[in-house]
Amino acid sequence: QLQLAESGGGLVQPGGSLRLSCATSQYSLDYYAVAWFRQAPGKEREGVSCISNSLGGETLYADSVKGRFTVSSDNAKNTVYLQMNNLKPEDTAVYYCAATLSGWGLETWEYDHWGQGTQVTVSS
């Protein structure tokens, strides 16, 4: 069972930046697609971004974060990052990373393995 651990969340002012990390110590992520999802209170979990290591690092972003968030992968460290710039209050949510060997995209049902989440709060 692949275990994922998110880190890097916190409190930031509007316009600020954070970098989230999603790491595993058990297996290489070389053949996985890894995605970031977020869930705000009272809302459904939504896909934010994903990267497919098996497709040469191809990436996908939700419209709401395009131009502000960047996903990247360091396969040597078995870690995927989400760089979040120009954060807005509506970005406040628990952020989860997820992984799958059998596809990629921004739908929750596509992913088999999930981390526990990290809280991101954007507030002045």
Determine the pLDDT at residue 10.
97
- Give the phi and the psi of residue 108 in degrees, each rounded to 5: -60, -35
Check whether 4 has a pLDDT greater than 80: yes
Q: Who contacts 27 (Cβ-Cβ below 8 Å, separation ≥6)?
A: 2, 78
Answer with the residue of higher pLDDT: 124 or 75.
124
What is the average pLDDT score of the chain? 94
- Number of neighbouring beta carbons within 10 Å of residue 11: 12
Handedness of CA 34, 110, 68, 86 (dihedral sign): negative
Q: Which two tokens stand for residue 64?
A: 């709401």
Determine the pLDDT at residue 1.
81
- Label each residue of the chain as H, E or C: CCCCEEECCEEECCCCCEEEEEECCCCCCCCCEEEEEEECCCCCCEEEEEEEHHHCCEEEECCCCCCCEEEEEEHHHCEEEEEECCCCHHHCEEEEEEEECCCCCCCHHHCCEECCCEEEEECC
Answer with the residue of higher pLDDT: 31 or 37.
37
Determine the pLDDT at residue 68.
98
Determine the pLDDT at residue 75.
86
Q: Which two tokens stand for residue 100?
A: 């799958």
